[in-house]
Amino acid sequence: MKIDTQILEDHQAKIKVETEAEQLEEAMRRASREIAKRTKIPGFRPGKAPYHMVERFVGKPAILEEALEMLVQDIYPKAIEESGIKPYGPGKLEDVSTDEPPTFEFIVPLEAKVEVGDYHEIRIPYELKEVTGEDVDKVVENIREQQAIIAPAERPAEPGDMVQVLMGANLKNPQEDENPTLIRERSVPVTIETNDNPDEFPYPGFSQNLVGLSAGDEKTIDYTYPEDSAYELLRGKEAEFKIVVEDVKSRTLPEVNDDLAAGQGEYENLEALRTDIHNRLEERARSEYDEEYEDKLIDQLVEASEIKFSPQMLEDEREAVLRGLENRLSQQNMDLETYLKTRQMTKEALLEELTPVAEKRLKRFLVLFEVSSKENIQVKSEDVQNETMQTLNMFASSMTPEQARKAISRDMVNNLASTVTTDLLVRNTLDRLKKIAKGEYTGPEEVVEAAEEEALEESTPSQPEDQSGETRQEEEKPVEAE
């Protein structure tokens, strides 16, 4: 058997295998016997009909087709082994020739190859902004706004009031293919802002136009969206707003005191509420900044690396992204078919849209796993067990014990543990990369020093014994994640 291997540009291998004519003849005889076993040929018991009778009964093409399948099963594993390639998944038979010599051509997707850049040189300043008293004040003000006492006001509108208006808006001088309707006429409540609000709808400062208006008053407002408007499609556009005041209501905000805090939960006083708000803002700010920091870090790592993967690997990742979308839709009581109808698109168009997302995600995972291998990143088996159990307990919390026993299978637990292991591996790898990027990681020697210090502490004679009298067991060693 002669094998020729060619690596293609799309990270697949083309393997051309030349066999001996005798191999094909032998395969055809085997195929004939198998066909004879399952085909009723007059005058012969199953499997006993000679070759020429099987050929006369089913035809040579049928025998040849089955013989080729048998031959492929024989030669494909040998071709993979002798070619020395590392397949990502099963290959496919691209071409076959029964001429002398019989030749088979396979296309085989290759295992991804990653040459990661020098990530030890990446430096990104970690600049988490502090939560200020002003940030806390804004949250307190939002609480006051939510608890405002609203009452009808028989007077012109003032700052802070809530005004119900019938509003519609159209673009002035729209282009030929442009829909002139900006806002279809509808009734909307508008709170007259007392301070500048860049997020005010339909544009910053709109509510100030309502000051002095009473129920039944009408007003037309012209506005040109600036070039730096948050509404990109409206930048430079002129619009005309028509409003009719339906009613005016006053809004009385509660005082900022301990009573306000008590209404938000078990807070002893206003200071306790402000402290809790500060802590929650700090936690959210850190979480959001860490996510942004990690994205920037991974993007630099991907850009500095050479990543090769087969079309099949990208296709599998795209299908995974699609499954994730379907799971999110199911949580909203919507299926994929309905989703596609709402977007007026086909599944093929959606898959095309998901391709860049899948490619970006695949590259990120590949470089992270390569770094985890180079850095010998590990996860502890106890961490995997703990997180797996926590997830299972959450899953089973809404079920009866009987339902949980039926729903939770061994395969489910194993799959979940595998997913948890992967997530922890990624988390630990990102933690290492962040330390490197912040200039806090000095290398493997710090791990060695820490281990030596721990060993020294354990060997010190004055080490107090455990009060139970039991000897301390050695901590379970971390196992490398698969």
Residues 63-116: tens digit of each pLDDT:
988 889 999 999 999 999 999 999 999 999 999 888 888 899 999 999 999 999
Once rounded to an integer, what is the mean pLDDT over residues 334-347?
91
Pair (92, 120) in one structural domain: no
Task: For residues 32 and 70, give the distance between their C-alpha atoms in angstroms, rounded to a whole number.
Answer: 11
Q: Cα Rg for the chain, rounded, in angstroms?
A: 35
Q: Are 135 and 216 within one domain? A: no
Average of per-residue pLDDT across 122-126:
94
Burial 83-112 (b: 16+ CB within 10 A, else e): bebebbeebeeeeeeeeeebbbbbbbbbeb
| Res 290 pLDDT > 70 | yes
Q: What is the pLDDT of residues 463-481, one digit of tens each?
A: 434 433 443 333 333 334 3
49 and 90 inside one domain: yes
pTM, full prediction: 0.72
State whether 8 and 107 are in the same domain.
yes
Using CA of residue 224, residue 228, residue 229, residue 232, what is the dihedral sign?
A: positive
Pair (352, 406) in one structural domain = no
Whether residue 294 lies inside any domain: the answer is yes
Q: Cβ-count burial of 470 within 10 angstroms (0-12 exposed, 13-18 middle, 19+ buried)?
A: exposed
Amino acid, single-letter form, for residue 328? R
What confidence score (pLDDT) does residue 466 get?
41
> How many domains is the chain partitioned into structurally?
5
144-155 pLDDT tens trace: 989 999 999 999
The CA dihedral of 263, 268, 273, 278, to the nearest 10 degrees, is: -160
Return the C-alpha torsion angle 91, 95, 98, 100, nearest 10. -100
Residue in the structure block whose two tokens are 């020429």: 52
Q: Is residue 465 part of a domain?
A: no
Residue 482 resides in a domain: no
Residue 92 and residue 27 in one domain: yes
> With 70 as the cut, is the pLDDT of residue 18 above it?
yes
Could you read off the pLDDT of 223-278 as tens digits, one per residue?
Answer: 999 999 989 889 999 999 999 999 999 999 999 999 999 999 999 999 999 999 99
Q: Is residue 407 part of a domain?
A: yes
Whether 164 contacts 186, CB under 8 Å = no
Q: Would you say residue 349 has pLDDT above 90?
A: yes
pLDDT digits (tens, 9 = 90+) for 312-326: 999 999 999 999 999
Same domain, 8 and 82: yes
Q: Does 118 lie in the same domain as 174?
A: no
Specify whether 143 is located in the same domain as 279: yes
Task: Supply the range of the domain harboring residue 118.
Answer: 113-147+265-306
Q: Has residue 131 been placed in a domain? A: yes
Residues 424 and 441 in one domain: yes
